[in-house]
Every structure is written in C-alpha cells, then in structure tokens.
Structure 1
Amino acid sequence: MYNVQIRQLPGNEDLPLPQQMSVGSSGFDLHAAVSEPVTILPGKWKLIPTGIAIAMPHELEAQVRPRSGLALKHGLTVLNTPGTIDADYRGEIGVILLNLGEESFTVERGDRIAQLVFQQVPKVQFQVVEKLEQTVRGSGGFGHTGK
C-alpha cells in the first residue's frame, strides 16, 4: 500500500475527494471544480480544474483517464489520455476534456469528469549498444501487420 497525500485547494471544500465507486474499481473519480458551468463545443476542448493537488511516492505516477460513461453517452474523452501526473508535481490536477460528440456538453461543478489511476514506475537505466537483438517483427510498425 502506498500513502498519497491530498490537499483540497481553497474554495473547493464542498467537493468530494476522489473515490473509487465500487470495490473492484481501479480508478478514483475526479470532480469538476469549475466556479460556473463550462460548455465544450463539439470538436473543442477545455481545461477543467479538479480543486485538488496530491503528493505521492516517487515509485508512483498518477494517470488521468476518461470515464467510459461520458465517452459512450457524450463522446467526451481526455485529450492527452492518459495524462501523466509525475510524483514531483504539486500543482492542481487539471483535466483536458475533449468533446468528440455531435452536441455541446456542459460541465457543472461537482460532475465526475475523469478518473485517476495510480501506476508503479519502474526504475530504468539505458545501456548503449552497437546493435539490438533481432526479432521477427524487426523495425516494422504502424500497421505493418495489416488491418
């Protein structure tokens, strides 16, 4: 278990803290901390504040991911999905919501807009080599295997 500190930024004490909505949920729902409704037109995006900041161990990253219900029902997603929150970031968590739907979508204060999923970050050290081990795939990429 990892301890993650959370701070509700001033003026956002009325909003719920991120929470898992069921026992098996891997994501913690994030709530919109907008001061007034924000409308996102089709094909446009807006940065939506959450009113919280976190501090987590360096072994973790937090990923901001879309909520499946908003994606299915309204065509909303997170523009830079998954958005990465690094362990040394202490600012407010923001969600860049993108409207891929055909109708405008209005975000209200307290709406569940995204989810926060924590992942372990492995320690990696690069080793410079002259030649990489060969594989069947080789350098093929971006659809090289067909449809």
Structure 2
Amino acid sequence: MSGGDWLEQLAWGADGLLPAIAQDADSGEVLMVAWMNRDALAATAARGEAVYWSRSRGRLWHKGEESGNTQAVREIRVDCDHDVILLKVTQLGGIACHTGRRTCFYRRLHGGAWEEVDPVLRDPGEIYRE
C-alpha cells in the first residue's frame, strides 16, 4: 500500500463508507465504532482529531463538536482487507459515548440478558443540546 493516493487504496463500501474503530492508544480499550467517508478520513488525517460521517445527520461530524469530548488521533491504521479503519486515540474529556460513558461498549451478555456494567460519568442532558 505504499505510494499513490492513500485514500484510493482503501476498499470503500458501495455507500462510500468504511467502519472506523476508535481505540484508546494507551490502554487498548475499544471506545466506539463509527463510519468514515473519504472526506472524514482526510479531515481526520489533516487535523489530528477524529472526524466521522454521521449517517443519521448526513454530514461530517467532528467528534466532540457538541460535548467537547474530542479524540486526539495518535495513529491511523487499516486492516488487512483495507476495509476497516482503526484510530488509536486519546479520548479528551474521558467520555466517548453519547450516553455519557467512557465507551459505547458498556453492556455485556450475562445469563441470557444484556446488563449495563459501566457507569454514566456525566448526564447526557448536560452534554448535548436538544
């Protein structure tokens, strides 16, 4: 994958998107999964902060634009099939999830049911505008 336009070397989906995993660069904890298009990935690489494509809003979304909980990108990787992006980040503000938790993966399967195992660090109503 050396040389040429690095964005064109990725296996973009039919919708022009790739899944992007945000992982804490120090602990390895998976914080969230979102989507990126070419513009989002290019913006992320250029600014050093995570920018995603919001499928629900139909626009670029700078992580933390409302909450202030931005992601400083320390490294960008791609998987062996060139169809998943891994961002190794420093999660500023300590909250990655819109529910006010550190990670979006706060539920685990236990006894045939999903149980919440991570606490809300900040009430989402205090973080986001309605």
Relative to the length of structure 1, the TM-score reads 0.27
Relative to the length of structure 2, the TM-score reads 0.29
